[in-house]
Amino acid sequence: MKKLFRSALIFSVSFLLLSLFSSCRSGEISEEDKLNPIEQKFLEDNARQIFLKSKKFKLTPIEMGYIRNNEPEKGFAYTGYKEGKATFSWQVSDQKRIILIIEGDLLKEDRTLRVIVSRNEDVIYQNGNTKDTPKALNNNKGLKDTKGGPPLGNPPSL
């Protein structure tokens, strides 16, 4: 009985120490964990193409020109290696803003994409997950989209 108790105690202490040492990471995101400028530009270009190629968002030619020629407001929040949330937003007119939010592994196909189109603070289009996403948002294999969406390609290799 003592041997069983002793074995269980040794196992428990070993497991506890192993858990402690394997999770000693400070919780801070290093520069290596973040997207580099090329990867950020890749996501920005994809966001731009999503809005320019999809008819679902009903953008006027002037709004499309604004997206084509202007930098979006962008934000990145990281939770791990190349993971987290990226936001791209264009204020295309005094009353209309379009936003693309990418969550998850930012350079992988299984990331979550959300689009918000708002007019005067009222949301006129919003999708919740990739099932509601237009074809242009789901096409991340570089293949031609038969519904008119842009081929998003693959992330650049370094």
Confidence at residue 118, expressed as pLDDT on a 0 to 100 scale: 87
Higher pLDDT among residues 29 and 134, named by residue: 29
Task: Summarize pLDDT for 75-129 with one digit per residue, the tens.
Answer: 999 999 999 999 999 999 888 999 999 999 999 888 899 998 888 766 666 665 4
Task: Find the helix or strand (DSSP H, E) in which 42 lies.
Answer: helix 37-53
Residue 8 pLDDT greater than 60, yes or no: no
pTM of the predicted model, to two decimals? 0.63
For residues 155 and 22, what is the distance between their CA atoms, to the nearest angstrom? 31
Confidence at residue 117, expressed as pLDDT on a 0 to 100 scale: 87
Burial of 33 (0-12, 13-18, 19+ CB in 10 A): middle
